[in-house]
Structure 1
Amino acid sequence: MPAEQNASDAPGASGSSEAPERPEDITVRDAVSAPDAEGRPRRATRRFPLFTRDTARPEGGGRAAPGDAPAPARQWPILAVLLTVGLGLLVTAMDQFRLGTLLIGVALVAGALLRWLVRNVGMLAVRSRFTDIVTYGGLGLAIVLLALMVQPEPKLRIPFLADLLHFTISG
């Protein structure tokens, strides 16, 4: 009996006099077609598996430098982003909030650019190239915009935000 066969097509389900096959005779072709309690293979969806048993390596997830290079050189893209974020956090801790958060946002935007332009970015590759670019770029841009709008003396003013805030508080 093939593994793709539905329960309604199983022997004995439609009044057939054939004896059902034993569970040990069933070939399971993939992990989600496991037999049910009666031994018939049931086909579950493969679209959203509950547990991931294996993940594909992200595109661009190889080494950023040859294998004989020292570890920091092989992972220079993620190190560049992390060191810049660390510098931004240090500057923020030294009471330069706007400059520190600008550094953090610029580091994330630079990570998006690296993910877009460099073929092998090592551990900077987390998901697909598109997802990484959108995530790094979106978060970096949001942090830069918020750093530019921070009080006192904002460098960027977006008029509808003040109206929106006034409407939500007074209404």
Structure 2
Amino acid sequence: MATTRGRRKDGRPKESGTFLPEGGASLAGPGPLREWPAMVVFGCLIAALLTAALNGFRIAAILIAGTFLVAAILRLFVSDVGVLAVRSRFTDVGMLLFFGAAVLFLGLSIPNPLVDLPWVPKRTGGGSTGQ
């Protein structure tokens, strides 16, 4: 007994197998403001990277860790977060907090350089250079 492509044996259409994301009501979203949580996180990340380029990595590490914290708070409390919803809410928040703590720890634990090279800019963002 042959079936029509895309239909079940009883005539009902097959489901596509693609489920809607947890953080949104539809794939297209309600409008242009659907991705505002991701834009907030992206803006925080741009600010942190500009700070890294201009002032050094120690302050930028704190800002990047803060960006992870902002993303975790948005994922925890905002129901329609768009692309911030990757897995379950618990998993997303746990991973964002873990990576934020890791970035903060690693960024603040890097020691001052042992060798002072004159062509390397001294933008470490903290600590004394002895000058």
Q: Are 2:89 and 1:129 aligned?
A: yes
Higher-Rg structure is: 1
What residue is the counterpart of 2:103 in the other structure? 143
What residue is the counterpart of 1:7 in the other structure? none
Relative contact order: is structure 1 or structure 2 higher (C-alpha 8 Å, sep ≥ 6)?
Answer: 2
Q: Are 2:71 and 1:111 aligned?
A: yes
Note closer, same or farther for the CA distance 1:94–1:54 as it changes in structure 2 (3 Å cut). farther
Q: Which aligned segments of 4 or more residues in structure 1 are displaced greater than 4 angstroms?
A: none
Q: Is the 8 A contact 1:58 1:125 kept in 2?
A: yes
Aligned to 1:58, the other structure's residue is in SS state coil
Q: 2:24 aligns with which of 41, 61, 85?
A: 61
Q: Is the 8 A contact 1:59 1:125 kept in 2?
A: yes
Note closer, same or farther for the CA distance 1:108–1:62 as it changes in structure 2 (3 Å cut). farther
**CA-CA distance at 1:84 after TM superposition:** 0.6
Q: Root-mean-square deviation (CA), in Å? A: 2.7
List runs of 5+ in structure 2 lacking aligned partners: 3-15, 113-125
List runs of 5+ in structure 1 lacking aligned partners: 1-23, 26-52, 155-171
Q: Percent identity?
A: 35
Amino acid at match of 2:102: A
Partner Cα separation in structure 2 for residue 137 and residue 103 of structure 1: 14
Aligned to 2:22, the other structure's residue is in SS state coil
Note closer, same or farther for the CA distance 1:54–1:99 as it changes in structure 2 (3 Å cut). farther
What count of residue pairs does the alignment treat as equivalent? 100
What residue is the counterpart of 1:20 in the other structure? none
Amino acid at match of 1:120: D
Give the TM-score, by structure 2 length.
0.63
Give the TM-score, by structure 1 length.
0.50
Q: Is the 8 A contact 2:61 2:108 kept in 1?
A: no
Q: Is the 8 A contact 1:61 1:126 kept in 2?
A: no
Q: Is the 8 A contact 2:38 2:82 kept in 1?
A: yes
